[in-house]
Amino acid sequence: MFKGIYHGKHCHVSDIAIVLSRAWSAGVDRIIVTGGSLEESKEALAIAETDGRLFCTVGVHPTRCKEFEESGDPEKHFQALLSLAQEGIEKGKVVAIGECGLDYDRLHFCPAEIQKKYFEKQFELAYATKLPMFLHMRAAAYDFCEIVERNKDRFTAGVTHSFTDTAEDSDKLLSFKNMYIGVNGCSLKTSENLDVVRDIPIERMMIETDSPYCEIKNTHAGIKFVKSVWPSKKKEKYDQESIVKGRNEPCLVWQVLEVVAGCKGISDIEQLSRTIYHNTCRVFFPQDLDSAADALLSSGHGP
Phi/psi of residue 6, each to 5°? -125, 115
Query: Binding site annotation covers 12?
Result: yes
Partner residues linked to 96 by β-bridges = 57
Beta strands in 48-162 (DSSP E): 54-58, 94-103, 133-138, 158-161
Cα–Cα dist 87/254, whole Å: 32
Query: Binding site annotation covers 136?
Result: yes
Helix, strand counts (H, E) of the chain: 11, 11
Cα–Cα dist 138/13, whole Å: 34
Query: Binding site annotation covers 99?
Result: yes
- Rg (C-alpha) for the chain, rounded Å, is 19
Query: Binding site annotation covers 7?
Result: no
Query: Binding site annotation covers 10?
Result: yes
Query: Binding site annotation covers 108?
Result: no
Cα–Cα dist 133/147, whole Å: 13
141-150 and 167-174 helices, crossing angle to 10°: 0
Cα–Cα dist 2/208, whole Å: 17
Binding region for a divalent metal cation = 10, 12, 99, 136, 161, 210
Binding region = 10, 12, 99, 136, 161, 210
